[in-house]
Structure 1
Amino acid sequence: MMVRLTSAALLSMVLVLTCWSTSASASLPLEEQLQQLKDNYNANDIEMKRLLAEKNRRLGVLELKLESLLLAQQRNNPIRFDVSEIDRSTPVGTSDAILRQTTSKIPRSCADIKTNGHTSSGIYSIIGAKSMESVFCDFCKTTSDPSFQTLIGYEDVKSKPVYFHVQRLFSVFNQSKTPISFDTERINVGGAMNTSSGIFTAPVTGKYFFSYTGTVLFPKAMYRINFNVGLMKNGNDPYRNVIAAAHADSISTTDVQFETFAMVATQHLVKGDRIWVEVYPLLEPGVIMFFSWATQFNGFLLEEDISQSIKSL
């Protein structure tokens, strides 16, 4: 059975002990009586502080247990505990430290942030379904309150930067169903673009933007000549793997003719997906791609599915 000590009860005990000590020492000389009263007062003061500290410690541990129980019930994962399980040797004021140590993890909600030990309402960053989210957590309300967590917006967070700009200068190309390679690397942050193979490999899952511009040279002809180039993904089937395409043609001409083309694409890629540019179908005789300063391939990561990058955490 637990004995609850109130402040009034503690004060009564001090008075009783003081009165008893006074009566018992009435026959002593005055100086000794004064010293004994002083000693008794100091001893009683220390004992009262110890009892109050013990009471505060046990109340703090009980508060920690009750908060854990509330969070577990809200997550449909009830837990049970017994007051007798409270560690009487735990120092005073360690409940917050225990809470942080036992629930430390990357937060995915305001409830997680509260569990991690935060108590001040404010704007925090959490991991959403795909992106980092900025939310306002109102810790003055219960976790079941709809306004406990309010979405502010989405944060553009990337685990690594990815962007490139490559060119192929002053040369020709007359192959089809073959990735176009490049000889000049203007920038390639993240190293995802392989200039010698012409293939870009997505380092993380997310949304990417690509653009390609070029020039084609048509020979003299008395008929129409067509030229097609495509941005390919994981294969060179022109009906299944093309995510963007460009077209150029030449109609009956008595001299060679240059035409330019361009294409852009925004694509969601999974880590490991490959992207490249190639000519399709087979080139007609005499048609070539002419590479110059106007021919360039660009790409960069628009938005990363950050939750996929750290889903194991």
Structure 2
Amino acid sequence: MTIQMFFQHLANAISLGSIYALIAIGYTMVYGILNLINFAHGDIFTFSMYFAFYAVTLFLFPWWAAFIFAIVLTTLLGATIERVAYRPLRKANAPKISALITAIGVSFFLQNFAIVVFGGRAKSFNPQLGVYPTQFAQVLTFGDVRIPLLTFIIIGVSILALFVLVWIVYRTKAGMAMRAVSKDVTAAKLMGINTDRTISQTFMLGSALAAVGGILWAMKYPQIYPYTGMIPGLKAFIAAVVGGIGSIPGAMLGGFILGVAEIMIVAFLPALAGYRDAIAYIILIVILLVKPNGLLGVEIGEKV
């Protein structure tokens, strides 16, 4: 492999890893507070693409307004799912398995709802339709290295979103409440924190990041259908486990590791191209064998 090809593949790997990181954070934030794997998170990711697509093609929004509209709607969708599906279980002190089954049920519901409402046929998230500017598709040349402008946009937007997340979690009262609830729900209640509102805000923040990731994914792979989020969502979950489920820095690290490994292993060993999806599972198995709590995870007792 030439040095030019190496940098091209590396840029693509980082862009893919940054999207995985955005989705993985949603999994890890919800788990950190509720000890719940929100299996509907990948479907929330899918809905953000549909919201953006129809905002442009049906309601004729400008692309930037459509993206903001999609992020807002996806954020509200996450809050609605928490309010309707998960909160009643918490109020009833339902066992953990009930919440897990509910998460799977919500995922199936969203997938089938998307088929009924949006149709099973794939939609083209194409700049020619005005979904985003055609200029984003141009290729930049650096000597012999040719990298699409979209790759830099994906990396830049992802890094900006991650910085905003870190600022919210570590520099705002809402973020302090999230961290307090993740440590001890009972103690947080005694300190006067509205845990229901904090949990809802956590779902909203995770869904907003999934929306950003979904829009970037649709721009990178311009075809959307009701099951679009299934594989990326699963890989993002693996990224969260690899980094340390419940750890935001771990989710970021796991996402980038997974993206870089997927692209670079196939780039160096083209014969393994057919096993690209298996790479994520191999990494997961190795991490669970070597460091079961993840790279940045810590061993904690179960919340009660």
TM above 0.5: no
TM-score, normalization: structure 1? Answer: 0.18
The structure where strand makes up a greater share of residues is 1
Indicate the structure with greater helix content.
2
Which has the bigger relative contact order, CA under 8 A and spacing at least 6?
A: 2
Given the two structures, how large is their TM-score scaled by the length of structure 2?
0.18
CA radius of gyration, larger in: 1
